[in-house]
Amino acid sequence: MIICTTVNDDYRVEVFSRATKLILMDTNKGIIHVEDNPALFSSNKRPTVAKRCVELGANVVIAAHGSVCYPSYRILRQHNVRIYVTEPGSDLSNFNVVPINQWEILYSSIIAVLERLSGH
């Protein structure tokens, strides 16, 4: 299983739009890829992360609460990527995840709009 997530400099899970790194993990090998978070250089932050996870071949995304807006959700679902949510700041070695639900998508979409309006 290949897992894609976004993390801060301390390698703790962070919201797609605020993380400094995007990483891929293999459940058997640990971290197999690290790159600068492409969302930091894009106006479409959350969908940019979703697209990159798909490009890198992830079949699971672990997203911090507030990360998966509707466009991101649609991108991931179109490619049969399973989506789970965890709290921002979660340690990579101990995920406490739940499957994504409609309320998480709605919340994330509202947060994404507010971030765009505020210029962040």
Torsion of CA 71, 59, 61, 49, to 10 degrees: -50
- What's the pLDDT score for residue 45? 92
Separation of alpha carbons 62 and 64, rounded Å: 7
Tell me: the pLDDT tens digits for 9-65?
Answer: 999 999 999 999 999 999 999 999 999 999 999 888 999 999 999 999 999 999 999
Residues 64-73 as b/e (b if ≥16 CB within 10 A, e otherwise) read bbbbbbebbb
pTM: predicted TM-score of the whole model, two decimal places: 0.94
Residues β-bridged to residue 34: 23
- What's the pLDDT score for residue 94? 80
**What's the whole-number average pLDDT of the chain?**
94
